[in-house]
């Protein structure tokens, strides 16, 4: 079904980008492209997903659409509505919808972009485009740029300055608006509902793939629009594999199952992981590892503040993980010595989290030339400590545990968007008795 409008944020986002381009913004030709469909097989395509910066500035999810901002106006170039295409692919918006639906100043036929950009290029002092983008559109822009430079030369006007606008958009995307936070909260809550369903459905003898199906159905029933990423449903030893995607093993009593799966809502992502016993009751070894890991998650959530950087949070998590591994008898020595030698890495080989937004691993600086980059108010990050025991000599061999939540950064600390899951051993075991 076609959308009949966009959020109140869209125009503000474009205005903020123009502001950040500085005093020459009106003479800067700013270009974003939604992207092209990608082949899955010789004749079949993957479901189309628009380039995230383009979607952020338009909320248009159609392929091969171009946004241009120039001389104080926004232009949207869309393929025209053709009945033959509608028969095959369904209804879509055309140039006549640029103003009424996408709140752009002018709409154009996509086929007119080549001639239009050549004309506009003569009046531009700068061109802002993702020059690392390997698309046919890059060649089209380069052709127009060469033609304009040849005609204008290096006289009093000089050659045009080429800039990459993506770092500017990244800074805007990092701090979420109230609308963005609420849609991400809804995506997270659909994910929470699916994780709760999985606690009931994970019965010995069923397969990981069947559990994946239950999970997906539950998320859609609670309003999600699709997966945020390929789901990980990892039972037994497979839970120690970070990006396990086979999802084809049989669930067995005595094993843990780690579910790293989440949904998006209108392209805004969530990312949640839960770990629980197939039998509904933790073994003693599973319990001590799980409780140690859950405590790290809780302390990291309590640690985050706007002035902290992601690296501050990660370093804090590493220290807590080292202490836990020492308490579990896996490592010996001082925290500094273990950290310096990297002895914790086989147990905790990944970061404690990442930014979250229109992409599951969203844009956001972890550090800069000025030093560590503060998270800032209304950034959304994941908190996902993990412990994985792959050494066969360990008494915890084959146990993999990760507990992941989505949190918004506020002056008061973490606002957990994914709250509502049974997390403690006591609560998980009690919930599983509902099977």
Interval 202-232: pLDDT, tens: 999 999 999 999 999 999 999 999 999 999 9
Residue 152 has what pLDDT? 60
For the domain 175-432, what is the CATH code? 3.90.230.10
pLDDT tens digits for range 359-412: 999 998 877 666 689 999 999 999 999 999 999 999 999 999 999 999 999 999
CA atoms of 41 and 46, how far apart (whole Å): 9
DSSP secondary structure code for residue 132 in this structure: T
DSSP secondary structure code for residue 38 in this structure: -
CA atoms of 275 and 258, how far apart (whole Å): 4
Long-range pairs, 181-186, Cβ under 8 A, ≥24: 181/378, 181/380, 181/408, 181/417, 183/265, 183/266, 183/268, 184/265, 184/268, 184/269, 184/270, 184/356, 184/357, 184/380, 184/406, 184/408, 184/417, 185/417, 186/223, 186/265
Question: By percentage, how much of the chain surpasses pLDDT 70?
Answer: 96
Mean pLDDT of 247-259: 98
> What are the residue ranges spanned by the domains of the chain?
9-172, 175-432
Residue 153 has what pLDDT? 55
CA atoms of 209 and 232, how far apart (whole Å): 10
Contact 125, 161 (CB under 8 A): yes
Cβ neighbourhood burial of 248 (10 Å; 0-12, 13-18, 19+): exposed
Q: Kindly indicate whether the domain formed by 9-172 is annotated with CATH number 1.10.1740.10.
A: no
CA atoms of 122 and 145, how far apart (whole Å): 8
Contact 376, 306 (CB under 8 A): yes
SS3 readout for 193-255 = HHHHHHHHHCCCCCEHHHHHHHHHHHHHHCCCCEECCCCEEEEHHHHHCCCCCCCCCECCCCC
pLDDT tens digits for range 297-315: 999 999 999 999 999 999 9
CA atoms of 135 and 294, how far apart (whole Å): 45
Residue 157 has what pLDDT? 42
Mapped onto helix, strand or coil, the DSSP state of residue 26 is helix
Q: State if pTM tops 0.85.
A: yes
pLDDT tens digits for range 98-151: 999 999 999 999 999 999 999 999 899 999 999 887 677 888 888 888 888 766
CA atoms of 219 and 211, how far apart (whole Å): 12
Predicted confidence (pLDDT) at residue 158 exceeds the cutoff of 90: no
Q: What value does the mean pLDDT of the chain take?
A: 94
Helix-strand-coil split of the chain, %, nearest 5? 40, 20, 45
């Amino acid at each position: 079904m076609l959308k009949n409008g966009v959020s109140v944020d869209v125009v503000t986002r474009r205005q903020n980008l123009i502001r950040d381009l500085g005093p020459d913004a009106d003479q800067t030709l700013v270009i974003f492209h939604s992207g092209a469909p990608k082949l899955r097989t010789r004749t079949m395509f993957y479901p189309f997903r628009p380039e995230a910066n383009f979607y952020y500035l338009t909320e248009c999810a159609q392929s091969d659409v171009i946004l241009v901002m120039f001389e104080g106006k926004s232009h949207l170039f869309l393929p025209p509505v053709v009945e033959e295409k509608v028969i095959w692919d369904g209804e879509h918006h055309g140039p006549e919808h640029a103003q009424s639906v996408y709140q752009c100043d002018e709409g154009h036929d996509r086929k007119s972009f080549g001639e239009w950009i050549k004309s506009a290029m003569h009046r531009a002092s700068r061109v802002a485009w993702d020059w690392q983008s390997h698309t046919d559109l890059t060649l089209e822009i380069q052709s127009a740029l060469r033609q304009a430079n040849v005609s204008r030369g290096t006289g009093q006007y000089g050659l045009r300055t080429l800039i990459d606008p993506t770092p500017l958009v990244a800074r805007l995307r990092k701090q979420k608006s109230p609308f963005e936070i609420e849609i991400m909260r809804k995506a997270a809550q659909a994910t929470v509902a699916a994780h709760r369903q999985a606690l009931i459905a994970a019965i010995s003898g069923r397969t990981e793939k069947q559990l994946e199906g239950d999970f997906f159905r539950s998320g859609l029933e609670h309003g999600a629009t699709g997966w945020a990423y390929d789901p990980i449903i990892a039972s037994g030893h497979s839970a120690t594999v970070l990006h396990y995607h086979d999802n084809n093993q049989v669930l067995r009593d005595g094993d843990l199952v780690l579910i790293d799966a989440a949904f998006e809502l209108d392209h805004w992502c969530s990312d949640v992981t839960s770990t629980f016993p197939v039998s509904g009751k933790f073994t003693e070894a599973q319990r001590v590892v799980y409780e140690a890991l859950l405590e790290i998650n809780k302390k990291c959530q309590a640690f985050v503040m706007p002035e902290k950087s992601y690296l501050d949070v990660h370093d804090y998590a590493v220290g807590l993980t080292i202490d836990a591994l020492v308490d579990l008898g896996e490592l010996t020595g001082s925290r500094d010595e273990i950290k310096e030698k990297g002895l914790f890495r086989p147990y905790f080989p990944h970061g404690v989290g990442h930014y979250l937004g229109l992409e599951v691993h969203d844009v956001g600086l972890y550090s800069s030339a000025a030093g560590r980059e503060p998270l800032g108010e209304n950034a959304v990050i994941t908190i996902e400590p993990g412990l994985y025991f792959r050494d066969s000599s360990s008494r915890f061999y084959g146990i993999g545990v990760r507990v992941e939540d989505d949190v918004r950064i506020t002056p008061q600390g973490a606002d957990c968007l994914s709250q509502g899951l049974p997390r403690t051993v006591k609560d998980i075991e009690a919930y599983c008795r509902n099977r």
